[in-house]
A and B are shown apart, each in its own frame.
Chain A
């Protein structure tokens, strides 16, 4: 167990160092939250929300976290393949899934930075202020949000490894998730037929949970309900990714495609 944790820790550390050297990731991490904050702040300033800054900061943070997943976690296996290191990673005595989990942890930790960048930008340059009515609930929501984003990253990493069109998919899943998960507007404004799609995506529930804790809980029932749904979906994602990684393992051994670009 200690070895596994050590592997996750050192992989996450290496991944964080490696990720920031990539210009696109640096853009997602540092520039995107500032520009998205400006756009959403200016769009929401006359919306009538009394805590619209929280909407802006949370929305921008999650948008950017998702972009980090799209352009890093989801494409990490493909990237290793292009660098010629995938076979080496795959053949180390440590389980491949543990290494991928470490990479995803590193990306997700870095992906939290935009929340602070967005808040600092809105506070210092736009003079906006926000409040979190229930900090305890917010903290709990944030922890489960991180876990759920790691779960969905694992799933996408596996799906993209199986797909031959991973680079196209990577570029095309950003905006659909922004829309379907209601990151900056409630999903209720979307057509009814899209709602089931929203419900199977964990960011939808993560956003609902975070917003609820920012606005303040009137009772614990809804919070517990959202928390339960998000936890269940996250567990399902991890189970599905585990199955997919087994399929990948099987396929790569039969087809010997680990080094095929």
Chain B
């Protein structure tokens, strides 16, 4: 890839990011990306405080902060094609002699970085409000866990986004997936309490292992187990990206055959 190509990649990423959420206005960004995630985090942590009758809310602060990345990774990346359809540019993207997956990936790239800021805000607010201390842990490892979590959820977002070529109900799909992530990744209750059949779904989801690894790190758990969970989470992310790539080829074919590129 030439320098011009790399530059175009980042320019496209940035423009798509700005256009998707209309973040030219700082007020919109503040409400959608700062205030709303904070309230989501506070709600689930307070619920845990009351239902589990505990004052140590470390696992819930970590789990629910990680989950805040769904605003970017699921709703942001998942809506890339839908927003292009509304802007009237989807036909041009499909017709362009350029790798669709790369186009798609460049549009989601800034979301991955931005989701880290939301997660960081969640962790900072959560640690202040609920007295969670990060002083006794290895911060670089914690950052690696967070990065790996964002990567694997972005993989799921890429997979979901591919469906945007054949359906106009992406909001419905994104909402279901985000709720499933809140329920089944172990952020709010131990996944061991779920029936076996549902537990399999939990292990197939991104973030499950990252939350477990971060909680182990906070509790001084085995480094080997933590590293093994990180590697498994990376693998989950790669699988989702591969599936996303495959599904874009399939859905592009279906969209052309069924003429759903302009399905509103």
Residues of A near any B CB (own CB < 8 A):
23-24, 26-27, 31-32, 35-36, 38-40, 42-48, 165, 168-169, 171-172, 174-176, 178-179, 184-186, 189-190
Contact of A175 (CB < 8 Å), options: B39, B50, B171, B176: B39
Which residues of the other chain, B, contact A169 by a CB distance below 8 angstroms?
31
Give the interface size bracket for B toward A: 20 to 34
> Please, could you name 20 A-B residue pairs with CB atoms under 8 Å apart, sorted by A?
A24-B172, A27-B171, A27-B172, A27-B175, A27-B176, A31-B176, A32-B175, A43-B52, A43-B188, A45-B193, A165-B28, A168-B28, A172-B36, A175-B39, A176-B39, A179-B42, A179-B43, A185-B46, A185-B51, A190-B46
Residue of B nearest to A32 (CB): B179
The complex places the Cα of A36 from the Cα of B176 at a distance, in Å, of: 11
Determine whether B257 belongs to the interface, using a CB cutoff of 8 Å to chain A. Answer: no
Which residues of the other chain, B, contact A168 by a CB distance below 8 angstroms?
27-28, 31-32
Residue of A nearest to B38 (CB): A175
Min CB gap B172→A, angstroms: 3
Residue of A nearest to B37 (CB): A175
User: Given the interface contacts A171-B36, A189-B50, does A42 sit within 8 Å of B193 by beta carbon?
Assistant: yes
Contact of A44 (CB < 8 Å), options: B36, B51, B171, B175: B51
Residues of B near any A CB (own CB < 8 A):
27-28, 31-32, 35-36, 39-40, 42-43, 46-53, 169, 171-172, 175-176, 179-180, 182-183, 188-189, 193-194
The answer to whether B193 touches A172 (Cβ under 8 A) is no
Which residues of the other chain, A, contact B172 by a CB distance below 8 angstroms?
23-24, 26-27
B interface majority secondary structure: helix
The answer to whether B49 touches A172 (Cβ under 8 A) is no
The complex places the Cα of A23 from the Cα of B53 at a distance, in Å, of: 37
The answer to whether B36 touches A31 (Cβ under 8 A) is no
User: Given the interface contacts A31-B179, A35-B183, does A23 sit within 8 Å of B47 by beta carbon?
Assistant: no
Which residues of the other chain, B, contact A178 by a CB distance below 8 angstroms?
43
The answer to whether A171 touches B32 (Cβ under 8 A) is yes
The complex places the Cα of A172 from the Cα of B28 at a distance, in Å, of: 10
The number of inter-chain residue pairs (CB within 8 angstroms) is 88
The complex places the Cα of A174 from the Cα of B32 at a distance, in Å, of: 12
Q: Which of B40, B171, B175, B193 has the most CB of A within 10 A?
A: B175
Residue of A nearest to B60 (CB): A43
The answer to whether A42 touches B179 (Cβ under 8 A) is no
The complex places the Cα of A23 from the Cα of B183 at a distance, in Å, of: 20
The complex places the Cα of A27 from the Cα of B43 at a distance, in Å, of: 20
The answer to whether A186 touches B50 (Cβ under 8 A) is yes
The answer to whether B52 touches A23 (Cβ under 8 A) is no
Contact of A23 (CB < 8 Å), options: B50, B169, B180, B194: B169
Which residues of the other chain, A, contact B193 by a CB distance below 8 angstroms?
42, 45
Which residues of the other chain, A, contact B176 by a CB distance below 8 angstroms?
27, 31
The answer to whether A39 touches B36 (Cβ under 8 A) is no
The complex places the Cα of A46 from the Cα of B52 at a distance, in Å, of: 7
Min CB gap B112→A, angstroms: 22
Min CB gap B226→A, angstroms: 25
The answer to whether B51 touches A172 (Cβ under 8 A) is no
The complex places the Cα of A174 from the Cα of B37 at a distance, in Å, of: 11
Min CB gap B118→A, angstroms: 14
The complex places the Cα of A46 from the Cα of B48 at a distance, in Å, of: 12
The answer to whether B52 touches A31 (Cβ under 8 A) is no
Which residues of the other chain, A, contact B32 by a CB distance below 8 angstroms?
168, 171-172
Residue of B nearest to A31 (CB): B176
Which residues of the other chain, B, contact A176 by a CB distance below 8 angstroms?
39
Residue of A nearest to B47 (CB): A184
Which residues of the other chain, A, contact B53 by a CB distance below 8 angstroms?
47-48
Which residues of the other chain, B, contact A43 by a CB distance below 8 angstroms?
47-48, 51-52, 188-189
Min CB gap A158→B, angstroms: 20
The 5 A-B pairs with the shortest beta carbon distances in the complex, nearest first, are: A23-B172, A175-B39, A185-B50, A42-B189, A43-B51
Residue of B nearest to A185 (CB): B50
